Amino acid sequence: MIEVPVIECVAGRGIRDDRYFDFKNDYKGQITFFSLEIFEELCGAFELHDCAPAAARRNVITRGVDLNELIGREFEVQGVSFCGTQECAPCYWMNGAFAPGAKEFLKGRGGLRAKILSDGRLRSNSPVIPSEVERSRGTISR
């Protein structure tokens, strides 16, 4: 993984230049999100000091958002719409990327897989906001 200041999201297809771009029709993981707070907890629990969030191999790192609450819901980041599809479950690879036991530590909080619903670009340091439908329900908390 490499960190970049901007990614281009293409509705129904994924992130341009990503290995999963046009991967499968109706692919549930066109983009993935991971919580910076969970990353920090992981680093504290395993006493990791020289580790970057990119090691989680997720496309977007968030702050202040409960990603599990977005499963099955539409949300927006910088004008780009997404639908959370499922947890991005951790795999055995996390034990090598971080430390033995990381996979177990991340169960239930490994991030979010989502479909991209509209085209647009995401830039670093942008807020996640609920879609119009979710705002009218008042169900997203930060």
Q: What's the pLDDT at 58?
A: 94
Give the residue, 114 or 131, on which the prediction is more confident: 114
Q: How many structural domains comprise the chain?
A: 1
CA distance 40 to 67: 15
Q: What's the pLDDT at 28?
A: 94
- Report the SS3 class of residue 56: helix
Residue 54 lies in a domain: yes
Banded pLDDT at 132 (limits 50, 70, 90): low
Q: What's the pLDDT at 54?
A: 86
- Give tens-digit pLDDT for 36-64: 999 999 999 999 998 888 889 999 999 99
Q: Which of 141, 68, 70 is nearest to 106 (CA)?
A: 68
Residue 71 lies in a domain: yes
| H runs (alpha helix) in the chain | 36-45, 93-97, 102-105, 132-137
Residue 126 has pLDDT above 90, yes or no: no
Residue 28 lies in a domain: yes
Residue 109 lies in a domain: yes
Q: Report CA Rg, the chain.
A: 15
Q: How would you label 6-20 residue by residue, b for 16+ Cβ within 10 Å and e otherwise?
A: ebebbeebbbeebee
- Report the SS3 class of residue 43: helix
Question: How do strand 112-116 and strand 31-35 relate by DSSP bridges?
Answer: antiparallel
Residue 11 lies in a domain: yes
- Give tens-digit pLDDT for 62-117: 999 999 999 999 999 999 999 999 999 998 989 999 999 999 999 999 999 999 99
Query: What single DSSP character describes residue 70?
Result: G
Domain that holds residue 23: 6-137
- Give tens-digit pLDDT for 11-37: 999 999 999 999 998 899 999 999 999
Q: CATH code at 70?
A: 2.40.33.20
Q: What's the pLDDT at 133?
A: 44
Banded pLDDT at 130 (limits 50, 70, 90): low
pTM reported for the whole predicted model:
0.85
Residue 142 lies in a domain: no
Residue 51 lies in a domain: yes
Q: 130 pairs with which residues across the strands?
A: 75
Residue 90 lies in a domain: yes
Q: How many residues does the chain have?
A: 142
